[in-house]
Amino acid sequence: MKIHHEGYATILIVALFTGIALFCLFFFIPRMHWIIKVLLLIVGLGFLTFVTRFFRVPYRVINKAETGVLSPADGTIVAIEEEIEKEYFKDQRIRISIFMSPNNVHVNSYPIDGKVVYVCYHPGKYLVAKLPKASIDNEHNTVVVRKNEHDEVLFKQIAGFIARRIVCYAREGTEVVQGEEMGMIKFGSRVDVFVPIDSKISVKIGDKVTSKKTVLSIF
């Protein structure tokens, strides 16, 4: 287990703010009841612990699946639907939506081996990530990885109501490895995965999935 480098600045700011706030409360309001001081201390340290834990990166052995699509995120399956993917493929695909709560690990990984052939950032709103229209209206980042001439996977990092920053390390033309880190979304969010229409889906709505481990579908 380690802390992601994207979280260093955020954790430092929260730690400084928490420390200054508690110092002011304890020393500039000396008559405050000690029980209230203890409760405030617990709340402050609890919030700092939550923020630090959010940026955790657990060690995992990648569940390599040669013909499978691994989950690029931790979370819960909230939708499995056939729809026309309008940005890149412009044809019928199966969309698998993964909702990531603030309690989930938020590091994202590549679902298959291959070459990154498309990366596009879209500014947008910050609606609740579970809403269907969040896939289009919210701030999101689209990445497509091509395994071969027949097998391509598109996935979107979608900002949520709390999230305000998407981090993506994918670059067009680079070769990537299934399970390799490709970025993260800060705080609550969602990831949509578009797989070929004839794929065999291996999960169902309500399933808890794990990045680098859970097979979402098989080509």
Catalytic residues: 189
Angle, CA of 210, 169 and 197, to the nearest 5°: 55
Q: How far is CA 204 from CA 74, 80, 151, 208, 215, in A?
A: 15, 7, 22, 9, 11
Q: Which residues of 5-44 are buried (b: 16+ CB within 10 A; e: fewer)?
A: ebbeebbeebeeebeeebeeeeeeeeeeeeeeeeeeeeeb
Contact (CB, 8 A) for 153 and 142: no
